[in-house]
Amino acid sequence: MRQIELIPAIDIIDGLCVRLTKGDYDQKKVYGNPLDMALEFERLGYRRLHVVDLDGAKSKHIVNSQVLRSITTATSLVVDFGGGIKTDADIEEAFQAGASMVTVGSVAVTNPHLFHKWLQKYGADRMILGADVRNGRISINGWKEDSGQELLPFLKEYIEMGVSKVLCTEISKDGTLQGPATPLYKEVMATYPTLHLIASGGVSSVSDIDQLERAGIPAVVFGKAIYEGRIDLATLIKE
């Protein structure tokens, strides 16, 4: 039985399930209906789902909450939702649409006070800090802007605030099917061994997931490898 938490991903543009390459909206591939995908994940035995509103990330406010609601209404999946959560109204909309957790990245950079307020209000169990990394620095607003903040000091600040869950995406790996940034995740875990780190980006095969598990990474998000037929979900969940 695997120890690493397996979290399939659904990214949404215009109400459809898509995948980008390295966060580039011009490199978009459409894979179908998000609800159909979510129902299939649940049928196979998965319990968690990572949903990203890419329209929201680009627009800086939630756009696809109705897609989220359709998934949380029709399934019992534990869904974490991110993309475009910038205001009190956005985070309330996400929770009201059925998200169990939200992933927040840009606000933690641009408005730490607001992020801390949400952490206090909703609790660490419902807040995932999004740390999207390019060249060792945090990127924000749909990966379009370099914040200039280095990853480890950024994490330290929020772990001291009480953050216990971090979704870390290596942007240069995301959607490339070239393998995950395992050394980066190992460095994070060596520095913060009690952190519930969710690795994201580059997973291309079951062996990549095995590699992350051997490295002691608690959880992994993967998407494109599913949609491109690189990972057999039915087999993976039974191993």
pLDDT tens-digit map of 99-147: 999 999 989 999 999 999 999 999 999 999 999 999 889 988 766 777 8
How far is the C-alpha of 87 from the C-alpha of 24, rounded, in Å?
25
Tens of pLDDT, residue by residue over 100-113, are 999 999 899 999 99
Annotation says 90 is catalytic: no
As given in the structure block, the two tokens for residue 233 are 């979900």
- pLDDT greater than 90 at residue 197: yes
Chain centre distance of CA 5: 13
How far is the C-alpha of 7 from the C-alpha of 62, rounded, in Å?
22
Tens of pLDDT, residue by residue over 39-85, are 999 999 999 999 999 999 889 999 999 999 999 999 999 999 999 99
Q: What is the pLDDT of residue 27?
A: 87
Residue with tokens 């696809």: 64
Annotation says 132 is catalytic: yes
- pLDDT greater than 90 at residue 204: yes
Pick the catalytic residue: 80, 90, 132, 174?
132
- CA-wise closest residue to 132 among 101, 109, 156, 159: 109
Pick the catalytic residue: 11, 90, 174, 208?
11
* Stated pTM of the model: 0.95
